[in-house]
Amino acid sequence: MKVLVVGGGGREHALTWKIAQSPLVERIYCAPGNAGMAALAECVAIKAEDIEALAAFARDKGIDLTVVGPEAPLVAGIADEFERHGLRVFGPGREAAQMEGSKDFAKRLMLEAGVPTGRAEVFTDIEAAKACISKGKPPFVIKADGLAAGKGVVIAQDDKAAYEALKACFVDRAFGTAGEKVLVEEFLEGQEVSILTFVDGEDILPMAPAQDYKRVGDGDTGSNTGGMGSYSPVPVLSDGDYRRAVREILEPTARALAARGIHYQGILYAGLILTSEGPKVLEFNVRFGDPETQAVLPRLKSDLVETMLAVVEGRLAGTSLEWSDEACVTVVLASGGYPGDYAKGYPISGLDEAGALEGVVVFHAGTRLGEGGEVLTDGGRVLNVSALGPDFAAARERAYRAVERIGFKDIYYRRDIALRTLEV
């Protein structure tokens, strides 16, 4: 079969890498892809948000399955457009994608379904939001309602920081229309865990858990980013809390969507926090996580394409997944200055040497091929170095040994990814 992967980041490279392992697949296209994906697939110069062009390409090439990586095209309705043309697509439709496209929508659905989550108030006016802050007790969680590339959440330690976050949304319009509605949410304390779940209507199939690192600096300091690293499994998540999350969060959410007449098919990503009262939801996303996918898929022994087809064809019930007992650690290599301003176009060295190490896979995130065929930096997050090992100590050692082989100007990465796993 022919598969089209939409997107061009590290998550999409990991998906393409895993899809290429399926005996069901004879050819893969990526749109737009990146330098790493070009080694596994034919990259086509169509942007992920150009839904009509992607649908036309899929029709012309006789694509059997399209896998959508990023959230923006899902929220914009790419699945609806593909289905309108009789094309099979893995990913939720526009209405279901509100679970990520609108934090207000997701919060209301959770409250209706009795899903454990933090208290929140929703505002469309800065003065009303400020009044809420003035009556509350810090820290405050300020969230832009819409898509903000993982950067629309601020944990404000005092009133001043909260007011600045509100100003960024309402006055400075730092997140465009995504910040026209803002949630002021209860701060929840605990470690965060991500569970990616296959969903086909009310049937769900959870994947192995992962934990990511959102702050740019070691020790969880500095600005929020799209993610600086991840690991799987998660030692701090007990089997009991995992089962509880499935029973109290994932299953009721799928049922609540179905009760609204919304058919959800694809991945539902639950961003959870392990509180003293049990797991609670911080956020839902409607696609594979990034960089969690890069730590989860290397551990998956089952055929990813078979599972995706089961979802698309409505036969997920009874499907199971097989996992490696190994640990996986993923370190993100970023451009200096990220998540702020950064330069592009620097040559990258050491990719072959790093990828040749035992247990290591180097996923490209923000790269492109230069005119001479050399690999160049082309984004804030440039590479994701994933390493499997018999335990976390071995996986970390392999990942960072591979990182040391790679070089480009102003390279930056956290040095503490998965360090906490050695302390559990």
Q: 318 in a domain, yes or no?
A: no
Q: Which two tokens stand for residue 159?
A: 């009133």
Given a cut of 80, is residue 96 above it in pLDDT? yes
Tell me the per-residue pLDDT of 124-157, one tens digit each, with 9 for 90 and over: 989 999 999 988 889 999 999 888 776 688 888 9
Which pLDDT score is estimated for 47?
A: 97
Q: 102 in a domain, yes or no?
A: no
Given a cut of 80, is residue 168 above it in pLDDT? yes
Ranges 161-170, 260-269, 389-398: which has the least confidence: 161-170
CATH number of the domain that residue 410 is part of: 3.90.600.10
Which pLDDT score is estimated for 153?
A: 85
Residues with Cβ within 8 Å of residue 335, at least 6 apart in sequence: 342, 343, 344, 346, 366, 377, 379, 380, 381, 382, 410, 411, 412
Dist. CA 10–CA 332, nearest whole Å: 9
The answer to whether 20 and 298 are in contact (CB under 8 A) is no
Helices within 286-372 (DSSP H only): 292-296, 304-312, 351-355
Given a cut of 90, is residue 172 above it in pLDDT? no
The helix (run of H) or strand (run of E) holding residue 419 is none
Ranges 31-40, 43-52, 71-80, 177-186: which has the least confidence: 177-186
Residues 24 and 67 in one domain: yes
Residues 203 and 292 in one domain: yes
Residues 195 and 298 in one domain: yes
Residues 386 and 303 in one domain: no
CATH number of the domain that residue 160 is part of: 3.30.1490.20
Residues 177 and 198 in one domain: no
In 194-233, which positions are buried (b, 16+ CB within 10 angstroms) versus exposed (e)? bbbbbbbbbbbbbbbbbbbbbbbeeeeeeebbbbbbbbbb
Q: What is the mean pLDDT of residues 88-111?
A: 95
Instruction: Report the 10 Å Cβ neighbour count for 401.
Output: 15
The arrangement of strands across the sheet holding 42-43 comes to: 42-43, 27-32, 2-7, 65-68, 89-90
Residues 303 and 212 in one domain: yes
Q: What is the mean pLDDT of residues 7-17?
A: 98
Residues 308 and 332 in one domain: no
Mean pLDDT over each residue of the chain, to the nearest integer: 95
Which pLDDT score is estimated for 423?
A: 79
Given a cut of 70, is residue 424 above it in pLDDT? no
Pairing relation of β-strands 27-32 and 2-7? parallel
Q: 103 in a domain, yes or no?
A: no
Which pLDDT score is estimated for 223?
A: 86
Q: What is the mean pLDDT of residues 365-392?
A: 97
Residues 300 and 356 in one domain: no
Q: 116 in a domain, yes or no?
A: no
Residues 230 and 251 in one domain: yes
Query: How many domains does the chain divide into?
Result: 4
Q: What is the mean pLDDT of residues 367-393?
A: 97
Q: 110 in a domain, yes or no?
A: no
Residue 411 pLDDT level (bands cut at 50, 70, 90): very high
Could you say which of 185, 203, 223 is where a domain stops? 185
Residues 353 and 412 in one domain: yes
Q: Which two tokens stand for residue 274?
A: 């392990």
Could you say which of 287, 312, 337 is where a domain stops? 312
Residues 199 and 273 in one domain: yes
Q: 101 in a domain, yes or no?
A: no
Residue 224 pLDDT level (bands cut at 50, 70, 90): confident
Tell me the per-residue pLDDT of 280-314, one tens digit each, with 9 for 90 and over: 999 999 999 999 999 999 999 999 999 999 999 99
Which pLDDT score is estimated for 268?
A: 98
Residues with Cβ within 8 Å of residue 61, at least 6 apart in sequence: 2, 4, 29
Residues 41 and 146 in one domain: no
Q: What is the mean pLDDT of residues 183-193?
A: 93
Q: 365 in a domain, yes or no?
A: yes
Could you say which of 312, 336, 357 is where a domain stops? 312
Domain that includes residue 252, residue range: 191-312
Which pLDDT score is estimated for 402?
A: 98
Q: 223 in a domain, yes or no?
A: yes
